[in-house]
Structure 1
Amino acid sequence: MTDNASSPRSRTPLTVLGAGAMGSALVRAWLAAGHPVTVWNRTPARAEALAAEGAAVARSAAEAVAANRLVIVCLLDDASVGSALETADLTGRDIVDLTTGTPAEGRTRAAWAEACGARFLDGGIMAVPPMIGSPDSGAYVFYSGSSALFEEHRDTLAVPAGTTYVGTDPGFAALHDVALLSAMSGMFAGVFHAFALVRHEDIAPKDFAPLLEGWLKAMAGLVHNAADQLESGDFHRNVVSNAAMQATGNGTLLRTAEEQGVSAELLTPYMVLMDRLVAAGRGDEDTTGMVDLLLKAPGTN
């Protein structure tokens, strides 16, 4: 958050399209900081609920866009964004799209907005609604696209959550967002498998959770070693447990799952890829080499 978020200079008026859980949280954060906010939602009742807190409610998306130069979009998906903005005059507008999407959607939407006479930023929100507007929550948003737009509105954008600008390529915000969410998904796959293993034993989940958290935190630092190997192309650098050793150890994990009556379906895709690395004669490397096995040849599905 920025210290001068509530100063008169930073109280930029803005429009928010979308009053779902995240959109409403964003609106409330900007209102609390003294920003005049115009809001529109496809279901009017949700927008009306924000009127009591000081927001101006527009009757249409086009009217909301016309109200302010800075327009924040937080809708269900990219198709919803296109539908909402199709009748709006975007000339001279600064569009910040916080709708969750793919890198390709971000790039396509940026080109479309620019053709309509607008500047464009795509955003990826790394937070859930209760974290928005709380300086100590750790919430932040990836932004990519127009650097001039970002610099001009940096203070305003920093009101609801921290800001991290990742480049002029409009697809980079979504790419960073989805990459981190994908890593989270893999982590939770392991977490749920671990809980399943102890589920029917005399081991309280609340007692097991701190051990699990501590172990994951201890292992998290290995991402830096992986990054170093990927940048250098040397997968023999700083190897602690090579792929062949880990592939052999996977047998114990699978046998334990069988003994505990637990499906290994959350683990086996990872293990199959590791076996491929070893079968390719790369068993003495770190498992970071699996990254390249995931990359499809251009033109393949």
Structure 2
Amino acid sequence: MVTPFGHDVPLWEAGEDVKRAANITRYMQWLKREKGLNFQTRDDLWQWSVDHLEDFWASLWEYFHIQASSPYSAVLLERKMPGAKWFSGATLNYAEHVFRNATSSRPALLFRSERHAMVEVSWSELQQKVASIAQSLRAMGVQRGDRVVAYMPNIPETLMAFLACASMGATWSSCSPDFGTNSVIDRFKQIEPKVLFAVDGYQYGGKTFDRRPIIAELQQSLPTLEKTVLVPYLFADAQSAVEDLSNAVTWQELLKQPSEIVFEQVPFDHPLWVLYSSGTTGLPKAIVQGHGGILLEHLKSLTLDMDLKPQDRFFWFTTTGWMM
């Protein structure tokens, strides 16, 4: 449908069958049944969520069955910004919720790139590798609250490294490998990382880009860095590249330690990751987001706004340098 600019006419509206089966409809039915709240439209629900912040977010906590090792004492202590503190007293772990509905009937991850055919990663493989990486990071001295950074593209290894950090309460941050040296240093140097995950290069539009020289520069420019993990992507011989770096190991070395996954219980606002502003006015500004807030926002956004269901597949075209 084509409409004149400025006319308030929807381009598309879901049919009644779609509306009845939508996740947000089920949530509204749950609110009516469990809380006595009867909303006729999505706009009514939205208005309630704005006017009754604490009740809305508490309902999401209950509706999505958030697993917390200790309960919260208050949803929101005080309505002020900055300084709002949500779900005080609660301890949980973001990564634990990623794996709680793992299944053998569907893959956890599908990956394909210019250089690689389609790869399926099962939930069991994902969990095993995340557990091994976390154990290796502990052996490197990484503890809860330490910063681990990645100079990596959107590949399975990046997700595995992030989930390993999240599982142990370390704080994650990433830049895309198309970033130049100074752009990466401007971001990572602010948060004093202990470990760097880095890809040896990438391919885009049929062209290959060797990133090994930049990795060496990053090592020299990040004084708090204690270890680098080199992930092979362009080059098969990762060992020789590691020998040219200081305090570096290959990705495969991290996977040699079989381990059971352990989910460190952290406060609701414990830093999950650090993102950055674009840096158009001075240095990029570091933005910290916590386990609990991101968990609730992901559940709300993906389930209620995007209507994702267990049988669906989700793809978002972006890099590791942007929050999408």
Q: TM-score, normalised by structure 1?
A: 0.29
Structure scoring higher RCO (CA < 8 A, sep ≥ 6) equals: 2
Query: Larger helix proportion, structure 1 or 2?
Result: 1
TM-score, structure 2 as length reference: 0.27
Q: Larger strand proportion, structure 1 or 2? A: 2
